[in-house]
Amino acid sequence: MTDERITSDEYAEFATVLGRKIVELLSFSKQRNMSPPLELQVTDADDMLILDCSFGADAKGVSLGPDIALTARFPLKVTLTDASGETLEMDVARKAYLAQ
């Protein structure tokens, strides 16, 4: 089995793509009229939490810390939950972000 961890050389590209995917999910939540605050969690293939944050109605983007995903194993699961418990999920595969 190959190691599906991100390398430090891949991190900048990964952070940009993951940020875009999260913004897509936030945009989709607006289309579905999900109620803020929105709780965002990103977990890896080992169910390790690598990002956990909340957004109010004025969410504009996402910023990842410098080492947030260097130990993460793919695929990643991005979960967005609103105040009423409605949930959206998106998977991020390693191949998907390397191809962009």
- So what's the pLDDT on residue 76? 86
Per-residue pLDDT for 69 more than 70? no
How confident is the prediction for the chain on average, in pLDDT? 77
| 3-state per-residue secondary structure call for 19-87 | HHHHHHHHHHHHHCCCCCCEEEEEECCCCCEEEEEEECCCCCCCCCCCCCCCCCECCEEEEEECCCCCE
Domain count, the chain: 1
- So what's the pLDDT on residue 66? 45
pTM value is: 0.74
**Residue 87, domain member (yes or no):** yes
Confidence of residue 58 (pLDDT cuts 50, 70, 90): low
**Residue 66, domain member (yes or no):** no
**Residue 18, domain member (yes or no):** yes
| Residue 76 belongs to domain spanning | 11-57+72-99
